[in-house]
Each structure stands twice: as structure tokens, then as C-alpha cells.
């Protein structure tokens, strides 16, 4: 049923109306005294892995085998970690993002659930708290800093709005590095908008709608904008391991700021809602998070 809803959205909406249909819930855990770890991307990846393993504890046998879950409703592991469907040659993105933020001395661990995935917030919350309490080697990430005994001091689930509005000139400031595999964003910064547009288009199906837009025309528009990429730079590669074959590799990343000027109105909705789902690949590991300035 979920896959059918994703493949056959209830409505087609113009791009400038997409924000009216965009929904997300944010799960937020506070870890006292661990704010120094907010920029630790290896930790972010391990939190994602621990969260997934906790979801496996309550999953169906089919979901554990990577097959569609027959339960009604399907288990949370199936919804969040399995590719639900493909649209053309692209698989639908996973409907969640992960982020770490510093709040004074404390660490905020935020998991955003997008669209239909909001209905699984309660189960996701329990799995996330269990992972943070029992499955993370916090001291192994301390890098010589003294950290108190970790505990989830507070937890909240709340629906979130979409911040910010792009004007005729804007800056995309990446809070976390962007995946740079494929086309190099330093050479072709317009590909950043292309990646973002593809992700927003596919993620809209988790909102129950399909975007009605002339994508080739929009692509010509964003390829013709004025980009200033001097604020972008290569970031240290992120050590990763393939879950399929166990091979280790380094994920290419860029970080910094991208300034864009020109007629932004046609792509304004992409820039705005993209802040909630991140850009590029690796969003479920916390990558590609940006704000408009």
C-alpha cells in the first residue's frame, strides 16, 4: 500500500505550491556535555547505523532480508531503510535526515521524518533513544576531550516548518559537507541545484504529491544562473564501508558556501524546501545540510 501511494501520488501540484504540501516531524535528543562532537561526521554515520540496528529488533523477517514488509502498517525498518520504489532510473530517497548541532555544551541529535514517514515517529523515537544510550562508543569519539557519562536528558517530537526564503541573490551555506561524487561541484556548481532538484522531486512523493514542472526548462534556467563558488572547498574525505561487500572507501566531499544570483523565482521552492531534506546523497548520514542566507 505504501509503495502504491508513492508511485501513484494523489495529486500533481505546481512547484510553487509544493511547500504547502511539505510536512516533516523532528525528533530531538539532548546529550548533556557532548556538544564538542557536533562536527564529528564519523559519529553521525555510526548513530545512523546504530539506529538501523535497533529498528531491526522489531522488524519483520521479510524486512530483515531486504524484502517488502507484509505487515500492515509495515515495520519502521522497512519504511525508513528500504528503497520503496523507483521512478524512472532513480530510486526514491529514504524519508529521513540526521543532523548534529551544538547547544552550549550540549549535543542535539536530530532525526527528521518526512511526509508519510511521520506516522512512524513513535517507533523511530524509541529506537533512536535506545541507540544513543546503549550502542554508541561516546568516549571513542572524544579526541582527548573529557566527556561526562552520556545520557538522553530530554527528548521531543514536533512538527517543523520550512525556514527561509530565497531572494534574487542568495547564499547556500553548507552546515555539513556535500557529497561530491560524480560531477565535481567545484567545476560545475550548477550541478548542486540539479542534485537538489532531483531529490526534492522524488521526496515530494513522500508528501503524497507529484511535482508538475517543466524540468528541462528549469534545468536550463539553473544552468544559466550566476554562481560564485570561491567559498566552496574540498573537505576531508569521509571514511565509509560498503554494507554490501564490506569494502572501505573515502567519500569525496565539498564544504563552504555557494553564492547564486539571477532570476531565482522559478527555482525558489526547490531551494526553500530543500533545507529540510538536504542536498545530494548521504542525507541519512547527515550530509548535504544547508541553510539559505
Say what the pLDDT of residue 140 is.
75
Confidence band of 167 (pLDDT split at 50, 70, 90): low
Looking at residues 17-21, what average pLDDT do you find?
A: 94
| Residue that wins the pLDDT comparison between 169 and 228 | 228
Both 59 and 103 in a single domain? yes
pLDDT tens, 93-123? 999 999 999 999 999 999 999 999 999 999 9
My answer on whether 86 and 177 are in the same domain is no
Q: CA-CA distances (angstroms) from residue 43 to 55, 81, 275, 285? A: 18, 19, 22, 9
Domain boundary residue, one of 97, 125, 159: 159
Asked if 116 and 67 sit in the same domain, the reply is yes
Query: Is residue 140 within 8 Å of 248, Cβ to Cβ?
Result: no
Looking at the predicted structure, is the pLDDT value of residue 244 above 60? no
What local confidence, expressed as pLDDT, does residue 168 receive?
73
Q: Note whether 122 and 230 are same-domain residues.
A: no
The pLDDT of residue 143 is: 66
Q: List, for residues 207-220, the tens digit of each pLDDT value.
A: 999 999 999 999 99
Number of domains the chain is built from: 2
| DSSP 3-state of 285 | helix
Q: Please report the pLDDT score of residue 16 as a whole number.
A: 93
Measuring CA to CA, which residue among 94, 162, 115 is closest to residue 5? 115
| CATH (domain of 192) | 3.30.70.1900
Higher pLDDT among residues 168 and 169, named by residue:
169
Structural domain of 147: 23-159
Task: Give the confidence band of 144 by pLDDT, cuts at 50, 70, 90.
Answer: low
Same domain, 173 and 154: no
- Residue 74 included in any domain: yes
Distance of CA 13 to CAs 20, 116, 170, 208, Å? 10, 17, 25, 10
Query: Does one domain contain both 208 and 101?
Result: no
More confident residue, 146 or 128: 128
Q: Are residues 184 and 288 in the same domain?
A: yes
- The pTM of this model reads 0.90
Quote the DSSP letter at residue 137. Answer: -
- Please check whether residue 164 lies inside any domain of the structure: no
Domain end, chosen from 137, 159, 181, is at: 159
Phi, psi dihedral angles at 226 (to 5 degrees) = -95, 110
Tell me: do 205 and 266 sit in the same domain.
Answer: yes
Domain end among 159, 179, 198: 159
Taking only the tens place, the pLDDT of each residue in 45-83 is 999 999 999 999 999 999 999 999 999 999 999 999 999
Whether 207 maps to a domain, the answer reads yes
Average the pLDDT over 197-212 and give the result. Answer: 97
Query: Helix, strand, coil shares of the chain as percentages rounded to 5?
Result: 35, 30, 35
For 245-283, what is each residue's pLDDT tens digit? 667 778 889 999 999 999 999 999 999 999 999 999 999
Amino acid at each position: 500500500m505504501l509503495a502504491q501511494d508513492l508511485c501513484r501520488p494523489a495529486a500533481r501540484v505546481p512547484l510553487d505550491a509544493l511547500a504547502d504540501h511539505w510536512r516533516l516531524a523532528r525528533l530531538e535528543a539532548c546529550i548533556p556535555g557532548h556538544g564538542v562532537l557536533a562536527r564529528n561526521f564519523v559519529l553521525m554515520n555510526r548513530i545512523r547505523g546504530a539506529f538501523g540496528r535497533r529498528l531491526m529488533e522489531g522488524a519483520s523477517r521479510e524486512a530483515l532480508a531486504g524484502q517488502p514488509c507484509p505487515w500492515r502498517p509495515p515495520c519502521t525498518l522497512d519504511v525508513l531503510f528500504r528503497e520503496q520504489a523507483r521512478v524512472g532510473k532513480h530510486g526514491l530517497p529514504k524519508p529521513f535526515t540526521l543532523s548534529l548541532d551544538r547547544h552550549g555544551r550540549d549535543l542535539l541529535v536530530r532525526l527528521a521524518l518526512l511526509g508519510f514517514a511521520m506516522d512512524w515517529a513513535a517507533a523511530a523515537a524509541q529506537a533512536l533513544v535506545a541507540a544513543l544510550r546503549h550502542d554508541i562508543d561516546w568516549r571513542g569519539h572524544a579526541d582527548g576531550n573529557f566527556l561526562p557519562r552520556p545520557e538522553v536528558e530530554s527528548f521531543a517530537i514536533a512538527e517543523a516548518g520550512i525556514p527561509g526564503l530565497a531572494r534574487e541573490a542568495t547564499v547556500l551555506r553548507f552546515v555539513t559537507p556535500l557529497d561530491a561524487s560524480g560531477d565535481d561541484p567545484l567545476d560545475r556548481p550548477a550541478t548542486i541545484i540539479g542534485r537538489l532538484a532531483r531529490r526534492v522531486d522524488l521526496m515530494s512523493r513522500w508528501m503524497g504529491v507529484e511535482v508538475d514542472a517543466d524540468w528541462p526548462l528549469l534545468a536550463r534556467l539553473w544552468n544559466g544562473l550566476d554562481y560564485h563558488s570561491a567559498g566552496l572547498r574540498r573537505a576531508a574525505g569521509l571514511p565509509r564501508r560498503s554494507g554490501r561487500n564490506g569494502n572501505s572507501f573515502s567519500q569525496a566531499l565539498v564544504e563552504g558556501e555557494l553564492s547564486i544570483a539571477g532570476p531565482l523565482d522559478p527555482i525558489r521552492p526547490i531551494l526553500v524546501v530543500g533545507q529540510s531534506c538536504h542536498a545530494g546523497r548521504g542525507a541519512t548520514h547527515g550530509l548535504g545540510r544547508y541553510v539559505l542566507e
